[in-house]
Structure formats: C-alpha cells, structure tokens
Chains A and B, each alone.
Chain A
Amino acid sequence: MRLFKHSNIDFLGHRRKFYLVSIIAIVIGMAVLFTRGIPLGIDFQGGTEIQIKFQSPIDVSELRNSMDKAGFVGMEIKSMGSAADYLLRTPLQGEGQTVADKIQAGIKENIPDKTYQVLQVNKVGPKIGAELRRNAIYAVVFSLLGILIYLALRFQFVYALGAVIGLFHDVLITVSAVAIFDAVFPMLQLEFNQQMLAAFLTLIGFSVNDTVIIFDRIRENIKLFKNEDIEDVMNKSVNATLSRTIITSGTVFLTVLVLFLFGGEVLRAFAFAFAVGVVTGTYSSVFVSSSIVVDWRHHVLGDKHKGKIAVNTTKS
C-alpha cells in the first residue's frame, strides 16, 4: 500500500505564502496570549487547589455559594468533565494545608447532605511556583540551544538555524493553540503545568526529527546533484521524504489522539499540546525550515551561487 507516489510539489517556490500562513497564525496566537495571558496551572502559579468528586451531581452555583460563605469569595471553580467532579482553586496557601482544610470545612458545613471524595490536593508555594516557571523557560531555551549546537556541528550553522527557527515557530503556535483552546473549551483543563512542559520538550525533540531527516536527504542529494539549483535539490529532498514525514507524523498523531480522547484528565493537557505540536512540527519541517535556509543564504549571507551550497558533508 502506498499513500504518496512520487510527489513533485514546488514547496520552496511557494515559500512566501507559507511564511504568511505561519506569521498570521503566530500573530493571532500572540494577540490571544497578550490579551488573555498564558493559562498557568498550579505548578507555575502557586496556591492551593483541591479536586473533589461528589457522590451525585451538584450545581456549580451551590458550590460557589458554599465557598463564598466559607470566606473564599471569587474562588476559581472548574468542572472536570462531569457535574460531580470539581476543581477548586485559590491563590491562598496558608501554613501547611490549612487552606484545603478550610475549603473542605466550608463544603461540609454548607452542603452537608452531599458526600464527596477528595481526589487530589495540591499546594504550591509562590517561590516554588516562580522557580518552576523559571526552570520551564530555561528548559525550553536550553533544548533549543542544545539542538542548535548539535545541528551546527552535524550540518552547517544555517541549517541549524533553519531548524531551530522552525522549532521556535512550533512552540509559539502550540502555546497559542493551548491559550485559544483553553479560552474556547475551558472544560478541557488545558493549563501550563509540569506535564505540559514535558510535552513541549518532547515536542521539540520530536519535531526536529522531521527537519533532520529532510536535511539529511538534502545533504545526500547535494552530493548527487552537484550542478543543480539548491532550490530544486531541496524540493527534491522534501518530496522524497514526504511520504515518511506524513506517515510517521500520522502514526504519532494517532497515538496522542488516542491518549487525548481516552487517556484521562491527567494526560489530556499533555496529549493536546503534543497533538498540536505534531501538526505544526510537520508543517514547519516541510514548509518553513528549508525555506529559511535558502532565504538566510540569499539575504543575510548574500550568497548568489545558487547551485553551490555546501552542506557539511564530511561528517555524514
């Protein structure tokens, strides 16, 4: 069975259009991010949250009332999929877990007829929150840097740059997608927590795979087609690897889709970010990274020798 037979698409010729698509997506995403902010989970925000499951469904307003009476006015209350599952969150922490205890006391006092089960309690101090936040940013930056250095050694700096810009593009779009989906579908519980960070880093590692495989083919083809225009060589390479790119991205997408749908709430945010990331990662590998290499050489390095772009071939 074959899904893609000898495609011959002029990817690089249309690169302006693809840049435009990417830029529009990023601009919209940034607009949402700046107006709404990044939805931070308890890990990065600090505070106390408690997840409870009532024996029978209960109205949100009833729960909110009980919290108001207990002194937690404006408590964040989220439904977790059903009318019996709720997540209550407040930026307060208090010593020990006293805040969580007070919340529970408030429920018991004001809704005495409903029994419930505590599924999870999290308390994160603001310093830890700030630290985790900082570590998250470091982690993303260092990963990109690490990949930049490795690819610069294996290929050429321009290629490394193209790949990393592509990755940065993926991260931006995925962050935006999380923010947008959180705004539209709050019940999905998409927040930036530690697991989401894991999704992002894995995504970076995974998304660069496609790019590396295309670059690997370019490196090989440049040796084979020494006198051809670099754009043609690149197009050839992207086309030759297209079937692999789509099949692997497809299988991984399928995997995370299953995790997203059936993996339960713990894995949902992780799977969502990864699923979006796989799509944009594939897009950037095919449409963006190679294009950036070409344009960087043309405009920044002023390279007019179209056909003779050397790739670091000694180490292949």
Chain B
Amino acid sequence: MKKNLFRIILTVVFIAAAILYLYPTYQDQQISKELHGLTGQDSLDYVTKNADKIKKSRDGRIKLGLDLKGGVYVVLDVDVVKLLQDISKKKDDPTLNQILTDLRSVPETSDEPILNLLKARLKEKGLTLKSFYGEIRDDENDVEKKLSTEIDNAIDRAVEIVRNRVDQYGVAEPQIQKIGGKRIVVELPGVSNPDEVRKLLQGTALLQFQMLKDPETAVKVMQNINNVLVGKGVTDSTKTTAELKKDSLKKNTESLTSKDTSLKESSGKKDLKKDTTKTKKDADKKSSDTTKKKDSDKKKDTLSNIDTGSASDTSAANLSEEEFKQKFPFFYLVRLNEQSGTADGYVRESDKEKVDLILKREDVKAVIPTDVMFAWSQRSFETGGERIYTLYCLKKDAELTGKVIEDAKSNIDPQNNTPIVTMSMSTEGSADWARITGANINKRCAIVLDGVVYSAPVIRSKITGGNSQIEGMGSIQEAKLLEIVLKAGALPAPLKIAEERTVGPSLGEDSINKGITSSFVALVLVALFMIVYYRVGGGIADLALVINVLFVMGIMASFKATLTMPGIAGLVLTLGMAVDTNVLIFERIREELGSGKPLRTAVDIGYKKAFSAIIDSHITSVITGIILYQFGSGPIQGFALTLLFGIGANLFTAIVITHFIFDIMLEKGRHISIG
C-alpha cells in the first residue's frame, strides 16, 4: 500500500501540474470565444479591461505552428558573394568581378565555403586574397582570417536588422533563429502577404544619426498629446501648460521611482566624445548618488501623497493614481524623470502598444510638429518585474546617415576597464560630423537603425577627424551590439531568400479540422476496441490513454512547444504506442492466467515480465525521435518533440498508473476481467 500511496501522490501531482499548465490554453480559447461575440468599442473595452489576463494566457498557451495557423516561413542566406564584392579594395577589377560572377551560382549546389573557392580561383590565376582585401605587407592567412570574421559578422548584423524590423512590424510571436551559424530562419505566424515580408526582410538597413529634441520642446509636444487625449484644446493658456508641466513631471518621477528602486540604468547616460576625459566610474558614482537621493526624496513624497491623497489640492502631485490616470493619460503611460533633465519617456512593455496606437491617431498626429518624431529604444531595463522601454523625441531630419561610417569596434577602455565603442568616418563624413558635433555640444545624438534608437549619447566636444568614442555601455555585449549596428550602416548585410513558405489561413483551418477530427475518430475506435477485447482491463488502459493525452499536452505547454500538424499525428501515434504497452502487459497476464495462476500473481508477473520489453521498445523509439529532432526542420521537429514527450508520458501511465489501479482494485477484492 505504501508503494501505491507514493504512486498515487505522484500521479495526482502530475495531473495537477498538467492541468495548471494547460489552463492558459483553455483561458486563451475562452477569451477568443468571448471576443468573437463582441464588436467595436465593446471588444476594445474588453481587451483593455482584461489586458493582464489576455497577456498571461497568451504567454502560457500552446502555440500553433505555421502549418496550422497560416503564416510565412522564410529562410535567409547571407549573400557572401555580394559581401565579398562590397568589401573588396578594388571593386572594379575585372578579374575579381569575373571570378565572383562565376562563384555566384556555386553556393546553390556546393557546401564549400565561398572564401575557399575564391582563394583557389585566385591562386589559379596567380593572385592572392591580400591583393584585393588587404595590404601588400599583410600576411595572406591573416587576411583570410579577417575576411572569414567579416562574413561571420555579416550574419550577426543581418540577424539584428531582421529582428529589429520584425519587432517593428508587430507580428505576434515571431521567431527569429540563427541556424548553423550561417542562416536565419524567420517565422511570422498570421502573416499572409509574402511580398510585404520580402520587402521587410530584404531592404537595405538605414542607419541614421538624429539629434534629440531639447527637453522643453519635447515635453511641450507630449503635453499637447496629453491634452488631445483628455479632450482639451491644444491652445491652452501658457500658464496652465507650465503648471501642468511642473506638476506632471513631479508626479511622474514619483511613480517611476516608487516602482523603480534603481534608476541607475535608465539615467546612466552615454557620453559621446573625442577623448576620454571623464571616466565612466565617475559617471556611475554620480548617477548612483543621485539615485539614492531621489529614493529618499521619493519616500517622503509618497508618504505625504498617501496622507493628503484626498485633499482638495489641485496639484498633480497630490492626485491619486486613478485621478492622475484620468487627468494625464499620456503621462500615465509615458513617465518622465524630472531629475534626469531629459525628456526620455519610460514606458512599460505592456503599455508600448497603447502608446503606439495613441501616436498613430490622426488628432494626435496633428499636434506633433512636422519636424519631430518619436522613436523607441532597442534596449529595455527591468524594474519591479516589468520591462521598461524608453521613448525618445527626435528631430525628424537625420544629421548624417550610417554610410559615412567606415568602421566600428567594441573594446574595453584600458584606462578604466569599461566597454567602449569606437567608430571612424570617411573624410567627407568627418567634416559634417565635426560641424554637427561642434554645433550641438552637450546635446544628445541618437543612433537610429531602421527607426529604433540603439543609443543616445551626449556630445561632449567637437569631434574632428571622424574618430569618435561612445562610452557608458552597461556590458561588453551591449557594446558589441552597438558595433554591429554601426557597421550595418557601413556594410549592409546582403540577404537572399533561400526558402519561403506561405500557408494561407484557410488551409491551416482546414487541416486543423481534418487533423483533429480524424485523430479523435482514431482514438475512439482504438478505445472501443480495447474495452471490447480486454473488458475492465481495457477500460483501465483507456483511462490511462486520456491521462496520457493530458500529460503530453501539459508537457508541451510547459516547454512552450509549438503544435504542428505532424505534431498532431505524433500525438495519435503515441497513443497507438500507449495501447501497445498495455496490450503487451495484458497478453502477458492472460498467458500467466492460462497457466493456472491466480489473478493477483498473474498481474504481478505480467507487469514484471513485460517490463524489459517495454523499456527496450521505448528506448529504440527515443533514439529515432532524437535523430528526427536533430535532422528535421520546422514542423518535423514539432513532431519529434510530441513523440518524445509521448514516449515519456506513456512509460509513466503504463507502468505506474495502470499498475496501481490494478493493485487497488485487487486489494479491494474486485475481480478484474481482462477478457
């Protein structure tokens, strides 16, 4: 009995866990059902009211693969030949161009790296790599190594650019993966226009340097937006505006700090300067100092806020959270930080979409001056369990594009061991850069790739000669990312679409229905057979089948796995195998019964003797499942995964669950008919 107790507890725990993991999937379905019945304003209200619930259920639900949902699947290859052409020092050399043109068709059929092929072809003609990609004095091997890193970097750049664009495109649950170090797989569920996707993924990346609007103007623009939201006219008296500004800023800082105990990251501004005069350490110290001070200030403020919350003071600082939301809906979403002296707006990840929608409204657009634009930060920091993004207010016209960048390099500053990025510009660019930096000392310049701000350092001094240094990065990874981004302007990563699949939503729907119906029919048939053939035993096995399905789905949900059409087939097959295990045991029990043993003994021996066969047959299936996962792609991996989960669940249900049910029934003196 003790043994059974343990088994029962284990089973109950697993079933509970499976239900827990599957609950979001169920909830998600309920929500979409409810949403289906609502239209217009009602559905909008529903979404706003249940935002948290919707997000939670969406994050936890079992995701459907592209073949079930419809969407676009694209495999991108970096066009190495084009890259080699672009970075050659003698772009117009006819021999090189001839070789590269010849090589163009090669990657379609050969696995040999292009670089090796190029080297071999050049050698045939008595030429070397360094004559096209290096200096005469360079070592040939070094040049080759450099080129090979360059090619690797191109892929990193491409991944970053693709990720950035897909994020902006606003597809739900996109997947971007680097495969085998040379390929990018992009999955965009629910998208049905491959043309748009192609443009999105293949266009040349645009890197720009844009000045930030000065804080006063930026805040004023935001106030106007706020006024539109609360239904006030834009031309409020200046006095009110000024008051509002003061008040809202105050309130904003408060609420931000009350959630945020460390403002260090957000206020740790980056410096852009010619040479290192001020060390990062100092800056850090300073900012952490201010943070401390702010924190203590805040505590006082918040306290007084609670005390006088209901007082009839009109000052925003004394408004409750709810009132503040009512009066300053825009600043409720976009928090400013007074002490930072900037107009960077901090927005919770969950509010990003709302802010985007607001900024797209026609009446809001009307109050944003034509030379101003808003842009999101690429980076986010976490505070109070929420990711916070920064909203920048930029001058629309770019000062300079990334084309002038010749090189960028992330490094560790030997003086103070902090990560830095250095970049150099072409002669032409340097002259412009000197003028721009000279005119904007102590102002901030944003580095914007495809409309997303990667960094917004302060210009410390006039930079002549084009060699600039950016510091203040939190980590070397961050510096590396900035390097990649800066290079994207210098060396665009040419991408080729190697594979593209579009599944129309109607095919997905159709295949879901057919797949699920047929799986269900198959299951019912098998279950019926088991009951007819093995009677009570069969009934127990069927119960195990149901638990098995629950387990497999639960494991899939917990692994955040994706359900594909082959995955459904995998599930059905697993059930076939689950039946197999039970049949094996039952036949064994029958044999033992046939040799005259009592039921109790027959059951025990049956389970015992069947065990080694069960283990062996499951392990061989595991072997093929793992290999399938290794060598398959996309939906096939989904299949392999369900199969593997199924095998695990099956072992448990067949060996543990049915066994203790048998045991308990036998202990209670029931006779179990196994046909």
Residues of A within 8 A of B (CB): 1-3, 51, 53, 95-97, 100-101, 117-128, 130, 132, 135-136, 138-139, 142-143, 146-147, 150-151, 154, 194-195, 197-198, 201-202, 204-206, 208-209, 212-213, 216-217, 220, 240-241, 243-244, 247-248, 251-252, 254-256, 258-259, 261-267, 270-271, 274, 316
- Cross-chain contact B108 with A127 (CB below 8 angstroms): yes
The 14 listed contacts between A and B (C-beta, < 8 Å) are A1-B532, A1-B533, A51-B507, A117-B504, A123-B499, A124-B498, A125-B77, A194-B632, A204-B624, A205-B620, A205-B622, A259-B518, A262-B517, A264-B514
Is A251 within 8 A of B579, CB to CB? yes
A206 to B578 Cα, complex, angstroms = 12
- Collect the chain A residues with CB atoms within 8 Å of residue B525's CB: 254-255, 258
Q: Is the CB of B566 within 8 A of A270?
A: yes
What does the 1/0 interface line of B562-596 toward A look like (CB < 8 Å)?
00011011101101110110011001001100000
Q: Is the CB of A96 within 8 A of B497?
A: yes
B491 at the interface (CB under 8 A from A): no
Closest A-chain residue to B567, C-beta based? A198
Instruction: Choose one: B526, B590, B627; the contact of A139 (CB below 8 Å).
Output: B627
A213–B615 alpha-carbon span in the complex (Å): 10
How far does the alpha carbon of A258 sit from the alpha carbon of B518 in the complex, in Å?
6
Q: What CA separation (Å) do A198 and B514 show in the bound complex?
A: 19
Q: Can you name the residue of chain B whose Cβ is closest to the Cβ of A208?
A: B620
User: Using a CB–CB distance below 8 Å, which chain B residues touch chain A?
Assistant: 67, 75, 77, 107-109, 194-195, 198, 202, 496-504, 506-507, 510-511, 513-515, 517-519, 521-523, 525-526, 529, 532-533, 565-566, 568-570, 572-573, 575-577, 579-580, 583-584, 587, 590-591, 609, 612-613, 616-617, 619-625, 627-628, 630-636, 639-640, 643, 675
In the complex, the answer to whether A259 meets B109 with C-beta atoms within 8 Å is no
Q: Which residues of B contact A248 (CB under 8 A)?
A: 576, 579-580, 583-584
B108, B572, B621: the one within 8 Å of A126 (CB): B108
B109 near A127: Cβ-Cβ < 8 Å: yes
Inter-subunit contact B515/A150 (CB<8 Å): no
Given contacts A121-B194, A123-B497, contact A139 B569 (CB under 8 A): no
Cα separation A150 to B624 with both chains bound (whole Å) = 12
The 10 closest A-B pairs by CB, nearest first: A264-B514, A205-B624, A139-B631, A205-B621, A216-B613, A209-B617, A262-B518, A258-B522, A252-B576, A248-B580
Contacts of A127 in B (CB 8 A): 77, 107-109, 498
Which residues from chain A contact B75 at a C-beta distance below 8 Å?
A: 125, 128
Is B521 a contact of A258 with CB atoms below 8 Å? yes
Interface of A is mostly: helix
Cα distance A259–B576 in the bound complex, in angstroms? 12
Q: Are B502 and A266 in contact (CB under 8 A)?
A: no
Query: In whole angstroms, how far apart are the Cα atoms of A51 and B508 in the complex?
Result: 13
What distance in Å separates the Cβ of A99 from its nearest Cβ neighbour in chain B? 10
**Do A122 and B627 have beta carbons less than 8 Å apart?**
no
Are A240 and B591 closer than 8 Å at their CB atoms?
yes
B382 to chain A, nearest CB (A): 39
Bound Cα distance A209, B584 (Å): 11
How near does chain A come to B189, taking the closest CB pair, in angstroms? 15
Residues of chain B within 8 A (CB-CB) of A202 are 570, 573, 621, 624, 628, 639, 643
Q: Please tell me which one of the listed residues A101, A255, A316 contacts residue B522 in the complex, with CB atoms under 8 A apart.
A: A255
Whole-angstrom distance between the alpha carbons of A101 and B195 in the complex? 9
Query: Separation in Å of the B34 CB from the closest CB of chain A?
Result: 29
- Cα distance A138–B625 in the bound complex, in angstroms: 14
Indicate if the CB atoms of A135 and B566 lie closer than 8 Å.
Answer: no
Instruction: Decide if B623 touches A120 in the complex (CB within 8 Å).
Output: no
Collect the chain B residues with CB atoms within 8 Å of residue A198's CB.
566, 569-570, 628, 632, 636, 639-640
Closest to B106 in A: A127
Q: How far is the CA of A205 from the CA of B624 in the complex (A)?
A: 6
Q: Name which of B109, B569, B572 has the most chain A CB atoms within 10 A of its CB.
A: B569
- B631 and A316: CB pair below 8 A? no
- Complex CA distance for A121 and B627, rounded to whole angstroms: 28
| B521 lies within 8 A of A262 (CB) | yes
Q: How far is the CA of A128 from the CA of B633 in the complex (A)?
A: 11
Chain A residue contacts of B501, Cβ below 8 A: 120-123
Check B617–A208 contact: CB distance below 8 A: yes
Q: Does A143 contact B194, Cβ atoms closer than 8 Å? A: no
CB distance from A154 to the nearest CB of B (A): 6
Q: Which of B496, B507, B579 contacts A120 (CB 8 A)?
A: B507
Q: Are B522 and A120 in contact (CB under 8 A)?
A: no
Contact A2-B621, Cβ < 8 Å, known A258-B518, A263-B569? no
A132-B195 contact given A121-B501, A139-B628, A205-B623, CB 8 Å threshold: no
A194, B526: Cβ atoms closer than 8 Å: no
Q: Name the residue among A138, A248, A274 with the largest chain B CB count within 10 angstroms.
A: A248
CA A3 to CA B586, docked complex, whole Å:
14
Inter-chain contacts of B510 with A (CB < 8 A): 264
| Chain B residues positioned under 8 Å from A212 (CB to CB) | 613, 616-617, 620
User: Please, which residues of chain B bring their CB within 8 A of the CB of A142?
Assistant: 627, 631
- Chain B contacts for A243, CB-based, 8 A: 587
- Complex formed: what's the CA distance from A208 to B625 in Å? 13
| Candidate in B109, B518, B633 with the most chain A CB atoms within 10 angstroms | B518
Q: Say which residue of A121, A205, A259 sits within 8 Å of B502 (CB atoms).
A: A121
Closest-by-CB residue of B relative to A4 is B587
Which residue in B498, B587, B623, B628 is a CB contact (below 8 Å) of A244?
Answer: B587
Q: Across the interface, do A119 and B620 meet the contact criterion of CB distance under 8 Å?
A: no
**Separation in Å of the A213 CB from the closest CB of chain B?**
5
State A116–B515 Cα separation when bound (angstroms). Answer: 24
Say whether B580 contacts A197, CB under 8 Å: no
Question: Known contacts A97-B500, A194-B633, A206-B621: does B609 contact A220 (CB below 8 Å)?
Answer: yes
